[in-house]
């Protein structure tokens, strides 16, 4: 029987998140992540077979965490709340927002690990289903809903994240106003 792991998967992913958010995905090497965590590199390789696997797992975790509130708002029938989820989540989770909204997944993992191919394939299924269901129940064109709840909020927060600052509260009013203007009453 082996000894228990000193660091959990979430602790390793948190260290990777901190490095990638502060210095960009290219800086998130196994050595840098291990140093941030205070662990030997071997511990990371033992848990994650490669840097690509570790960073792909981080990407998946960020996407799932973000989508939770978005999907919930749509399931509750509130497109405006779904749209407002983006700036609010960015303020509450700045490191995850920086990694998720400023970098493509290809920036994190040079080669997407085959171990996570199924996760990647189904990663957006819940959000896509929630959008389709909301559009169908409200009689809204799906592309219009996507524009109001995804494209507008993303565009509204991106420049603030690029400047390494949280989106100001005034962004919420603009997003809500745009969402209401684009979607039928």
Domain count, the chain: 1
Any domain includes 46 = no
Angle at 29 between CA 25 and CA 31, to 5 degrees: 150
**pLDDT given at position 54:** 92
pLDDT in tens, the chain (185 residues): 556 668 899 999 999 999 998 888 889 999 999 999 999 999 899 899 999 899 989 989 999 999 999 999 999 999 999 999 999 999 999 999 988 876 666 665 666 788 887 887 888 899 999 999 999 999 999 999 999 999 999 999 999 988 889 999 999 999 999 999 999 87
Any domain includes 5 = no
Q: What are phi and psi of 7, to 5 degrees?
A: -120, 135
Tokens of 3: 């000894």
Any domain includes 128 = yes
Any domain includes 8 = no
70-104 as b/e, with b when 16 or more CB fall inside 10 Å?
bbebbeeeebbbbbbbbbbbbbebbebbbbbbbbe
Any domain includes 149 = yes
Any domain includes 42 = no
pLDDT one-digit tens code per residue, 19-60: 998 888 889 999 999 999 999 999 899 899 999 899 989 989
Any domain includes 75 = yes
Any domain includes 90 = yes
Place of tokens 């029938």: 77
pTM over 0.85: yes
Distance in angstroms (rounded) separating the CA atoms of residues 15 and 8: 11
Range of the domain at 166: 59-182
């Amino acid at each position: 029987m082996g000894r228990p792991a000193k660091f959990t998967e979430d602790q390793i992913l948190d260290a990777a998140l901190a490095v990638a958010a502060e210095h960009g995905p290219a800086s998130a090497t196994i050595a840098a992540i291990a140093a941030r965590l205070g662990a030997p590199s071997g511990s990371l390789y033992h848990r994650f077979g490669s840097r690509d696997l570790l960073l792909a797992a981080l990407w998946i975790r960020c996407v799932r965490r973000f989508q939770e509130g978005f999907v919930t708002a749509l399931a509750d029938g509130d497109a405006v709340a779904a749209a407002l989820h983006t700036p609010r989540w960015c303020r509450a989770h700045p490191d995850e927002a920086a990694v998720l909204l400023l970098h493509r997944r290809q920036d994190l993992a040079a080669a997407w690990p085959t171990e996570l191919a199924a996760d990647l394939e189904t990663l957006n299924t819940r959000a896509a289903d929630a959008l389709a269901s909301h559009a169908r129940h409200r009689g809204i064109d799906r592309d219009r809903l996507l524009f109001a709840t995804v494209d507008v909020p993303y565009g509204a927060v991106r420049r603030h994240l690029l400047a390494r600052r949280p989106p100001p509260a005034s962004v919420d009013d603009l997003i809500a106003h745009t969402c209401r203007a684009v979607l039928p009453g």
